[in-house]
Amino acid sequence: MHHDRTPQTDPPRTAKVLEGITVLEQGTFITGPAAGMLLADLGADVIKIEQPGAGDPFRAFRGGLYSPHFQTYNRNKRSITLNTKTPEDAAVFDELVQRADVYIQNFRPGAAERLGAGEARLRELNPRLIYCAISGFGQTGPSAGRPAYDTVAQAASGFLNLLVNPANPRVVGPAIADSLTGFYAAYGILGALVERARTGVGRSVEVSMLEAMCHFNLDAFTHYFSEGEVMGPYSRPSVSQSYTLRCGDGRWVALHMSSPEKFWRGLAVAIERPTLFDDPRYATREGRIEHQEQLIELLGEIFATRTRDEWCERLLAQDVPHAPMYDTSEALRDPQARHLELEVVGRHPVMGEWRTVRSPVSFDGVRDTHVVPPPILGEHNDEVRAELRARDASATE
């Protein structure tokens, strides 16, 4: 049956698909907080449990407790400080566990049990609890007790070997292993929430940085399993025919040509070399892969003759897959990024205006442009405790 929709005058409300789900995050640095943030972005009430005084170690910055690193992974959350060595705070912690749906920690294996936050004890308090433990190398095994940071996990999984430039061997780029492990943890939690809706019983969710990065590095392992090929830093860019080219104004453009011939014909027109790909070295996909070094040199000389804006205009006219190689100050000013409203602004009562990049997921065509800035340490101590008291009062009536 067809129903006419009544026209809406108010802008549609963003779907908060995890509304009503309470998450306790006892996380520090990136992996646990990243998982919590992903759930918070979907509408969960994420209560970040922190140590009094200093809080999450990622807070510390220039004498304050609101570092850019901390801000990255802690929006849309509430903060409560608890010293669970005191009976009063231990009781508050247990009450929070009893009303929570999810608990997240990224302690070293064994630490949660010493802190009274092990899965067995928390599950006794709340059988419906989904307990997520994030580690570096796993909860058991010969490396379980080792310290693990982002670069350690990237290296151990074989991923770092695909990033380091042999000509200038040094670690590059952001904390990929940390943030991806947070993604995989959130993915596991969401699966457990779906199952709990059927069974009413919570599960333990475990993920380690090593497991997450090995899975993320699956393409390299598949090439090895299938063909015995050990991929290197240039393996995929060579096959995908990817280029970064310096333009005449010192700015850069990136191409990802792939294999369709139409893109190569378009590139030949854009660079005014219509016969370039008649050359047998570059006429086929196999030839272009084999002779990529020569193509890099050739295209580099050509692209040095015009500005980036000129090249982007020419490449766009010929439908060549490309983008300016923006830096952070440029990317969000691009017309498409502006159209998608990627940059959003919130206002913190103490810290003032706060800018971030919104969640990339839209529901029913509505972008979530509303954001709550990260909390200052213990910002919601009174609020969360008052909610617990109100809940206790209603339970005894």
The DSSP letter of residue 327 is -
Catalytic (active site) residue 178: yes
Token pair for residue 177?
Answer: 């292993």
User: Are the beta carbons of 57 and 89 closer than 8 angstroms?
Assistant: no
- Give the gyration radius of the chain's Cα atoms: 25
Number of residues in the chain = 397
Of the listed 45, 178, 368, 382, which one is catalytic? 178
Which residues have C-beta within 8 Å of that of residue 11, sequence separation ≥ 6? none
Return left, alpha or beta for 87; rule: phi > 0 is left, psi -120 to 50 is alpha, else beta. alpha
User: Are the beta carbons of 43 and 19 closer than 8 angstroms?
Assistant: yes
- Burial letters 309-322, b for 16+ CB under 10 A, else e: eebbebbeebebbb
- CA 48: distance to chain centroid? 18
Contacts made by residues 148-152, CB under 8 angstroms, sequence distance 24+: 148/208, 148/209, 148/210, 149/178, 150/30, 150/175, 150/176, 150/177, 150/178, 150/209, 151/177, 152/209
Active-site amino acid positions: 178
